[in-house]
């Protein structure tokens, strides 16, 4: 009997300890699991916060690597278009590009088109008294000068000679010539463009940056002579002498393929500049209208393009 007690006592103690241990383990699970769940929620929340913070940081990085803020162009209107001259054209930069404004001597681009379509370049032209009365430029023709149509065309585009432009229009009469300019603008779909004279001296010679970009595309595709003449820094003209281009940027900006300046008190500074990209052989057509400093404002656009679109 004593032996039975000896063995039974320890056995019961062991059973009791096992039961007590199991009870403690169950209660611990009851209290600990919610705590673990809370910690898990907190852990997941921390992960979510970290992910959101990382996304925010990545987003900020993407903003930094995207093209820099567009330039502050101090002009009434401006546009920059990338074109392959075939089936692709996109606006890269614009500021009030559909605003109709006086365009000054950018008018002479259309004057040149009418001349090329209707004149024989070897025909001779004499500067009349009326032609000589037009506003003079630095190195200009004078009354009685006799040159070929080609010679006057060169002087008009390179030096922006008003006398040359008017003399060219007199071959068929100024009124008819201007009518042909406006008809050509209509044929090209330049809906906001109108010409009152062949020189651009009248404030009624108006267009938009958008229309002028289309005109530039037409010139590059169909009238390469105009582009070729317009980009010459200096040029010697037989029977007249050497003329110097009015575009100061020809000495500063590489790969210019077409250029034309314009200025009157009403129009202020105007500039058309086309660059051929060495990277993809596309053209960047840039227009500035109504600027106090057309060259400075154009350089802002060109520098921005160089930094973000690899023009050169």
Distance CA 199, CA 221 (A): 23
105 labelled catalytic: yes
* Residue of 83, 160, 161, 169 marked catalytic: 160
Give the gyration radius of the chain's Cα atoms.
38
Distance CA 166, CA 129 (A): 11
Q: Give the helix ranges, DSSP H, for 66-148.
A: 108-118, 129-132
Please state, as a whole number, how many other Cβ atoms lie within 10 Å of the Cβ of residue 38: 10
Judging by DSSP bridges, how do beta strands 241-244 and 234-237 pair with one another?
Answer: antiparallel
Rounded to the nearest 5°, which phi and psi values hold at 295? -70, -40
Q: Which of 162, 168, 128, 121 is nearest to 145 (CA)?
A: 128
Judging by DSSP bridges, how do beta strands 256-264 and 268-276 pair with one another?
Answer: antiparallel
14's tokens: 């062991």
108 labelled catalytic: yes
144: left (phi over 0), alpha (psi -120 to 50) or beta: left
236-to-5, 35, 205, 245, 278 alpha-carbon distances in Å: 133, 92, 30, 11, 29
238's tokens: 């037989």
* Residue of 76, 108, 163, 184 marked catalytic: 108
Length of the chain, please?
A: 312
Q: Which helix (H) or strand (E) holds 239?
A: none
* Residue of 105, 164, 169, 230 marked catalytic: 105
List active site positions: 105, 108, 160
């Amino acid at each position: 009997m004593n032996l039975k007690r000896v063995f039974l006592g320890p056995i019961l103690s062991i059973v009791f300890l096992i039961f007590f241990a199991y009870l403690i383990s169950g209660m611990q699970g009851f209290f600990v699991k919610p705590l673990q769940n809370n910690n898990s929620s907190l852990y997941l929340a921390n992960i979510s916060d970290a992910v959101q913070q990382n996304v925010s940081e990545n987003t900020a990085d993407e903003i930094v690597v995207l093209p820099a803020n567009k330039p502050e162009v101090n002009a009434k209107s401006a546009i920059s278009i990338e074109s392959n001259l075939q089936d692709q054209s996109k606006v890269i930069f614009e500021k009030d590009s559909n605003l109709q404004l006086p365009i000054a001597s950018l008018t002479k681009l259309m004057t040149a088109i009418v001349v090329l379509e209707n004149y024989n370049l070897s025909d001779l032209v004499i500067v009349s008294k009326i032609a000589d009365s037009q506003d003079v430029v630095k190195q200009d023709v004078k009354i009685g000068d006799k040159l070929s149509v080609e010679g006057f065309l060169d002087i008009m585009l390179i030096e922006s000679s008003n006398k040359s432009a008017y003399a060219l229009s007199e071959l068929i009469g100024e009124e008819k010539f201007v009518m042909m300019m406006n008809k050509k603008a209509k044929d090209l779909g330049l809906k906001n463009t109108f010409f009152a004279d062949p020189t651009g001296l009248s404030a009624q010679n108006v267009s938009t940056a958008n229309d002028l970009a289309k005109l530039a595309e037409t010139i590059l595709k169909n009238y390469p002579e105009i582009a070729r003449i317009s980009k010459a820094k200096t040029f010697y003209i037989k029977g007249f002498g050497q003329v110097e281009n009015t575009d100061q940027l020809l000495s500063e900006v590489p790969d210019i393929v077409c250029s034309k300046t314009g200025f009157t008190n009403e129009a202020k500074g105007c500039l058309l500049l086309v660059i051929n990209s060495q990277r993809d052989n596309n053209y960047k057509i840039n227009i500035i209208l109504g600027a106090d400093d057309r060259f400075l404002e154009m350089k802002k656009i060109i520098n921005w393009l160089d930094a973000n679109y690899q023009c050169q």
